[in-house]
Structure 1
Amino acid sequence: MIHHISIPAQNPHHVALVLAELFQGKIMPFPPLEDAYVVLAKDDYGTLIEIYPMGSEIMPGHGIDEASFCRNAHPYRFSAVHAAISVPVSQADIEAIAQREGWRVLACDRDGLFHLIEFWVENHLMLELLPPTMAEGYLQAMAPASLDRLLAQMATVPVRVSSF
Structure 2
Amino acid sequence: MEVYPIGIMLYEAEGGADGEGERAGETGFAGTHAAIATRLSQDDVMAIARREGWPAKYRKRDGGFGVSELRIEGVR
TM-score range for the pair, normalised by the shorter chain length: 0.5 to 0.7
Residue number in structure 2 paired with 1:119: 70
Q: CA deviation at 1:120?
A: 1.2
User: 2:58 aligned with 1:103, yes or no?
Assistant: no
Structure 1 residue 114: deviation in Å? 1.0
Three-state SS of the structure 2 residue aligned to 1:86 is coil
Q: Is 1:85 aligned to residue 36 of structure 2? A: yes
1:107 and 1:96 map into 2 onto residues whose CA distance is: 12
TM-score (norm 1): 0.28
Q: Percent identity?
A: 41
Larger fraction in helix: 1
Runs of 5+ in structure 1 lacking a partner?
3-74, 125-164
Ranked by relative contact order (alpha carbons within 8 Å, sequence separation 6 or more), the top structure is 2
Q: Secondary structure at the match of 1:116?
A: strand
Question: Number of paired residues?
Answer: 51
Show structure 1 runs of 4+ deviating over 2 A: none
Which aligned pairs between 1:135-150 and structure 2 lie closer than 5 A? none
The alpha carbon displacement at 1:76 in A equals 3.7
Instruction: Give the alignment's TM-score, normalised by structure 2.
Output: 0.57
- What stretches of structure 2 of length at least 5 have no aligned partner? 2-25
CA distance in 2, matches of 1:94, 1:110: 18
- In 2, the alpha carbon distance for the partners of 1:94 and 1:114 equals 16
